[in-house]
């Protein structure tokens, strides 16, 4: 979840930042391990609902969005066997893993003035 203040009076974002930090990331896809799937999707749905609730509660002076990257090309997936990678890539619309740099650009955009009208966005 990402909270940014645009209140010229300096409205505090301390509540949101103390709960989540300035930026937290959540994944769109569930994990491959089906044993943790129920817990994962339940918590994911809760975070999405919380993002929407904060957006409604803190607007119009604070924008609230979530960054929900899919599978990322990181050390976590670097050692996957080719079959696991094939299965994962099949589930991704773009047929490739994202990169940490792409996620960082989303965070920079949401922190910028260019995103002042974006709320409840899951990118």
Catalytic residue numbers, as ranges = 40
- Helix (H) or strand (E) holding 14, with range, is helix 14-20
- 106 CB-near residues (< 8 Å, 6+ apart): 67, 69, 123
Q: Is 15 helix (H, G, I), strand (E, B) or coil?
A: helix
């Amino acid at each position: 979840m990402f909270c940014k203040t645009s209140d010229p009076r300096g409205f505090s974002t301390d509540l949101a930042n103390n709960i989540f930090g300035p930026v937290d990331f959540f994944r769109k896809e569930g994990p491959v391990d089906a044993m943790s799937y129920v817990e994962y999707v339940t918590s994911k749905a809760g975070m999405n609902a919380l993002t929407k609730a904060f957006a409604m509660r803190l607007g119009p002076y604070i924008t609230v969005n979530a960054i929900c990257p899919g599978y990322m090309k990181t050390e976590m997936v670097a050692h996957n066997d080719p079959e696991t990678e094939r299965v994962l890539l099949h589930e991704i619309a773009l047929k490739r893993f994202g990169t940490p740099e792409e996620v960082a650009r989303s965070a920079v955009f949401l922190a910028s003035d260019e995103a002042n009208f974006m709320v409840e966005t899951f990118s």
